[in-house]
Chain A
């Protein structure tokens, strides 16, 4: 009788353990923090990195700083800065390291301080999302496309509303860069606007590094965004930056990542 009770307890424990949810939902910042308000978010995990083009033979490392400034109707200003460490080796592997805190219009104390590290290794055909806190890494196969502006999230607004100007060449952070100014005009009445809205983007692109070293976007709807690569170092970065530390536990990537929401 006592033996049967023990076995039943073991059975219940086994089934109970199986029934525990794992993976999504077990992320940080979820439990015990109360209901979330609009604009709030909790970080679950890093998923993967995407490289739109593989650049070989042009290694560098830098600090990318993005400053977003939004001026409100009452003259108040919202300002935030995103700092990212970026590196690329001669083989085209890239590393992106960033501390979260804000995503788009959202700022979350729940995700503040969460560090994400992504390694894209086109040589191995794998993207790695490292979680330095839990010492785990998620890996997914990657496909590398041959050019820019191909992603579904890259805009394809009609060319008729666009204007492009050449800004010449200048040296930024020790790197020669070619400038272009693109102006997209939202015609009056298109989004309920009384007058036409000009969204202006200046991009300074380095042909040597094949990355934008500076960009500035001025959008009257969403404010001003300035992105710049600082402390550009063109020496070969340390190889260890592009390898997963041996004490990390490997987890499989998402089996079915997601779907596009209805508009």
Chain B
């Protein structure tokens, strides 16, 4: 390849020295061959690059569809999350529910509310972020009344 490169440059110099008068037929023939060879090489490289990018794009799409894109985009393997058990642990009991009968069957719903609403539930909140939205789980008793609240992590 290095020898071919040197011959190609040499032919170009000969062509330049001959000026507009035209290069010898042998030199012209060799130049044409070299141009064709290089052109073909460029096409092969371009196709290989295109195929490579297409393969990566396809892999990302497949991974996203199957839910594994996190592994590609964030690097280290993230273990599958463990689904928590349905429990009323970690709920902050609401003062309003103090006198209500005990829970027999409860349901938990997730809501979004401004931080200030937590204050209305009897929790101490920072006034600065009072308007910021927060997601919370609300524990409802069998009567549909709120018994407890916990913030969503």
- Cross-chain contact B101 with A227 (CB below 8 angstroms): yes
The residue in chain B whose Cβ has the minimal distance to the Cβ of A13 is: B61
The residue in chain A whose Cβ has the minimal distance to the Cβ of B80 is: A255
A-B pairs under 8 A by CB, number: 284
A109–B3 CA distance with the chains assembled, in angstroms: 82
Assuming the contacts A52-B104, A152-B91, A257-B152, asked whether A141 and B73 have C-beta atoms less than 8 A apart, the reply is: no
Residues of A within 8 A of B130 (CB): 38
A200–B146 CA distance with the chains assembled, in angstroms: 18
Residues of A within 8 A of B113 (CB): 36, 40-42, 106
- Cross-chain contact A152 with B104 (CB below 8 angstroms): no
The residue in chain B whose Cβ has the minimal distance to the Cβ of A23 is: B110
Number of interface residues, chain B, beta carbon within 8 A: 73
User: For chain A residues 95-113, which have a beta carbon within 8 Å of chain B?
Assistant: 96, 98, 100, 103-106, 111
Assuming the contacts A111-B111, A212-B104, asked whether A103 and B138 have C-beta atoms less than 8 A apart, the reply is: yes
Assuming the contacts A14-B60, A86-B142, A111-B111, asked whether A254 and B104 have C-beta atoms less than 8 A apart, the reply is: no
A162 to chain B minimum Cβ distance, whole angstroms, is 11
B13 to chain A minimum Cβ distance, whole angstroms, is 33
- Cross-chain contact B107 with A50 (CB below 8 angstroms): yes
Task: Please tell me if A61 contacts chain B, counting CB pairs below 8 Å.
Answer: no
A interface bracket (residues with beta carbon within 8 Å of B) = 35 or more
- Cross-chain contact B90 with A259 (CB below 8 angstroms): yes
B153 to chain A minimum Cβ distance, whole angstroms, is 5
A176–B85 CA distance with the chains assembled, in angstroms: 35
Q: Which of B4-12, B15-23, B28-36, B49-57 lies on the face that meets chain A?
A: B49-57
Task: Please tell me if B48 contacts chain A, counting CB pairs below 8 Å.
Answer: no
Residues of B within 8 A of A66 (CB): 143-145
Task: Please tell me if A49 contacts chain B, counting CB pairs below 8 Å.
Answer: yes
Residues of B within 8 A of A143 (CB): 85-87
A36–B151 CA distance with the chains assembled, in angstroms: 17
The residue in chain A whose Cβ has the minimal distance to the Cβ of B131 is: A35
A263–B123 CA distance with the chains assembled, in angstroms: 6
Task: Please tell me if A27 contacts chain B, counting CB pairs below 8 Å.
Answer: yes
Residues of B within 8 A of A4 (CB): 50, 53
Residues of A within 8 A of B84 (CB): 140, 253-257
A234–B33 CA distance with the chains assembled, in angstroms: 95
- Cross-chain contact B85 with A256 (CB below 8 angstroms): no
A105–B61 CA distance with the chains assembled, in angstroms: 46
Residues of A within 8 A of B69 (CB): 14, 18
Task: Please tell me if A262 contacts chain B, counting CB pairs below 8 Å.
Answer: yes
The residue in chain A whose Cβ has the minimal distance to the Cβ of B67 is: A18
- When each residue 210-245 of chain A gets 1 if its CB lies under 8 Å from chain B and 0 otherwise, what string results? 011001011101100101000000000000000000
- Cross-chain contact A141 with B85 (CB below 8 angstroms): yes
A15–B103 CA distance with the chains assembled, in angstroms: 46
User: For chain B residues 54-104, which have a beta carbon within 8 Å of chain A?
Assistant: 54, 56-57, 60-61, 64, 69, 73, 81-104
Residues of A within 8 A of B86 (CB): 47-50, 127, 140-143, 253
Contact of B143 among A3, A14, A227 (CB under 8 A): A227
- When each residue 47-73 of chain A gets 1 if its CB lies under 8 Å from chain B and 0 otherwise, what string results? 111111100000000001010100000
Assuming the contacts A254-B83, A255-B82, A261-B123, asked whether A47 and B64 have C-beta atoms less than 8 A apart, the reply is: no
11 A-B pairs within 8 Å (CB atoms) are namely A18-B69, A25-B112, A42-B111, A66-B144, A82-B144, A104-B138, A149-B102, A153-B92, A218-B99, A255-B81, A256-B84
A sample of 11 more A-B contacts (CB under 8 A), given A7-B50, A151-B103, is A11-B57, A38-B114, A38-B120, A50-B106, A105-B120, A118-B107, A140-B84, A153-B103, A257-B150, A260-B90, A262-B123
What is the interface of chain A, defined by CB distance below 8 A to chain B? 3-4, 7-8, 10-11, 14-15, 17-18, 24-25, 27, 30, 35-53, 64, 66, 68, 82, 84, 86, 94, 96, 98, 100, 103-106, 111, 116, 118, 120, 127, 129, 140-143, 148-149, 151-155, 157, 184, 199-201, 203, 211-212, 215, 217-219, 221-222, 225, 227, 252-263
